[in-house]
Structure 1
Amino acid sequence: MFKLTVLEDILRTSPERFSLPKFDALSYALHRKYSNRVLPGVGLCLGLWDWLKTEEDYLHPGDGGSWTKVVFRLLVFEPQVGEIIVGRVEHSFSEGLFVSVEFFNNIFIDRLALQEPCVFDQEEQVWIWKYQGHDLHIDVGEDIRFRVVKVQYESSSSVSSAAMTVYGSIAGDGLGLVSWWPN
């Protein structure tokens, strides 16, 4: 679910940050560029882990800032297919469920990836697993354990922006609401 990824970039330090220690100024530039951004094939960038290499600063004519080539590691959220994750049910509708973890909420569980047999109650807006004569409700706000079945990246209209959608399944033993299964 979490990984460290090595990236290389050239960061600009603006003149108003020259009074800061060099790595504080570089960290500021890096966080502005990467934190809470999705990089296709990499994942959701959460923050700087450490610096691996920095080169000498250089200047561009007509630009008051300094530029530094850096190599660094970022902490990234990118679930792997087959991985089991516990999240929280955020929204339930006739096509499935939306689930979130504390910092990411674009997780979708399709109605075809629910426990069988499952029915949607339109009035209550809740999915119900019909298990051996019991109605087990999948309520909003409950913790849910799911298996990752797909991670998809989509580019938006902006050149540097992308979205990541995680698709999950609760079809299987031990999956579904955490409260359904004894420890």
Structure 2
Amino acid sequence: MFKLAVLEDTLRISPERFSLPKFDALCYAVHRKYSNRIVPGVGLCVGLWDWLKAEEDYLHPGDGGSWTKVIFRLLVFEPQVGEVIIGRVEHSSSEGLYVSVDFFNNIFIDRLALQEPSVFDEEEQVWIWKYQGHDLHIDVGEDIRFRVVKVVYENSDRSSVSTGAMTVQGSIAGDGLGLVSWWPK
């Protein structure tokens, strides 16, 4: 679910940051550009882990800032296909379930990826798993265990950074999956 990703970039240090130690100014530039952003093919950037290399600063004519080519590692959130994760049901619709893991809420479980047989109750706006004569409701706010089926990026250009271009598709069709409360500890 979490990994370290190696990135290379050329970062600008603005003149108002010149009084800081070099790596403090570079840390600020990394956090400003990457924290809580999606890098396609990499994942949701959580924060700077460490520096691997920083070259000498250089200047561009007409620009008051300095530029530094750096290689660094970021802690990123990118679930792997097949990985099992516990999230929270945020919303239900006739299309499926919308799930969150607190810091990331773009997780969707399609109606075709629910336990069989499941039906959607329009009045209560919840999915119900019909299991051996019992109605097991999938209520909003409940903890849910799902398997990652696919991670989709809107933009496949690895060099771009965006604020919301990753979707995780999940499934609860399988033993041990679904609401955490359904299964013994």
TM-score by length of 2: 0.95
More strand by share: 1
Q: Describe the SS at the equivalent of 2:123.
A: coil
SS of 1:146's equivalent in the other structure is: strand
In structure 2, the residue matched to 1:176 is 178
Structure 1: 4+ residue segments shifted above 3 A: none
Q: Cα deviation per residue 1:5-61 (whole Å; 9 max; x = unaligned)?
A: 101111000000111111111011111111111111111111100011111111111
Q: What amino acid sits opposite 2:75 in the alignment?
A: L
Whole-angstrom distance in 2 between the partners of 1:39 and 1:65? 25
Aligned mates of 1:84, 1:160 — CA distance in 2: 27
**Match for residue 11 of structure 2?**
11
Aligned to 1:78: 78
- Is 1:31 aligned to residue 7 of structure 2? no
Which residues of structure 2 form unaligned runs of 5+? none
Specify the code of the residue in structure 2 equivalent to 1:35: S
What secondary structure, in the 3-state scheme, does the structure 2 residue paired with 1:173 have?
coil
Q: Does 1:100 align with 2:100?
A: yes
Structure 2: distance between partners of 1:108 and 1:151:
10
In the alignment, which residue of structure 2 is the partner of 1:124? 124
Partner of 2:166: 164
SS at match of 1:171: coil
2:175 alignment partner, SS class: coil
Structure with the bigger RCO (C-alpha within 8 Å, sep 6+) is 2
Q: Secondary structure at the match of 2:165?
A: strand
The CA RMSD measured in Å over matched residues stands at 1.2
Sequence identity (%): 87
- 1:166 alignment partner, SS class: strand
- C-alpha contact (below 8 Å) 2:106/2:167 kept by paired residues: yes
Task: Provide the C-alpha distance between the structure 1 equivalents of 2:11 and 2:161, rounded to a whole number of angstroms.
Answer: 15
- Provide the C-alpha distance between the structure 2 equivalents of 1:5 and 1:165, rounded to a whole number of angstroms: 19
Tell me the SS of whatever aligns to 1:45.
Answer: strand
Listed as ranges, the gaps of 5+ residues in structure 1 are none
1:152, 1:56 → 2: CA distance? 37
Distance (Å, rounded) in 2 between the aligned partners of 1:96 and 1:164: 18
Question: Residue 135 of structure 1 corresponds to which residue in structure 2?
Answer: 135
